[in-house]
Amino acid sequence: MDTSIHRQMADRLREAGIPVTLQRVEIAHVMLSKPAHMSADQVFSAVREHVPETSRATVYNTLKLFREKKLVRELIVDRERVVYDSNTAPHYHLYNEDSGQLTDVAADELQVVGMPELPSGLTLEEVDVIIRVRTAAS
C-alpha cells in the first residue's frame, strides 16, 4: 500500500476515535478510498491480498466498528445479502435483482414525504430506501 494513502487512512481512523492497526488501515483503504458497496466477505478477500494474516473475525468486527463510528453504512439488501456502503452522505439505492448491482441514487432524486409519529423515547436514526428493479420481459 502507498504510504501516503496509509497515512491518510490512519489519520481518518484516528479522527473517528478508532485505534490504528495494520488490519484496520487496510480495511479502511479497501472501503474508504473509493465509493464501494461490498460484503464483509468481499472486504475480507481484498484485505487478505495485502495483509494475509487478517482473520475473518477482524474484518467483521472492524466493519461493525466502522458502522458505529459512521465511517460506513450497513445495508441489508435481502435476507442473504448485507453490504457496507462507503458513502455516508444521505442517498438511496437502486438494486438490480437480476445482476445484483447496487447503485447510489442521489437524495434529491427521490422524495420521501411524511414520517409517522415516533413513539415516545425514540429518535429517527436514518431512512434506508432500496428501489428494486428487474429486467423487463420482452
Q: Which helix (H) or strand (E) holds 106?
A: strand 102-106
Handedness of CA 82, 87, 88, 91 (dihedral sign): negative
Strand, helix or coil for residue 20: coil
Tens of pLDDT, residues 22-81:
999 999 999 999 999 999 999 999 999 999 999 999 999 999 999 999 999 999 998 999
Share of the chain above pLDDT 70, in %: 99
The whole-chain average pLDDT of the chain stands at 94
Domains of the chain with bracketed CATH: 3-78 (1.10.10.10), 89-133 (no CATH)
Which amino acid is located at 91 in the chain?
H
Pairing of strands 130-133, 91-96: parallel
Which amino acid is located at 74 in the chain?
E
Sorting pLDDT into bands at 50, 70 and 90, what band is 2?
Answer: low
Cell of 126: 436514518
Cell of 36: 464501494
CA 41 to CA 56: how far, in whole Å? 8
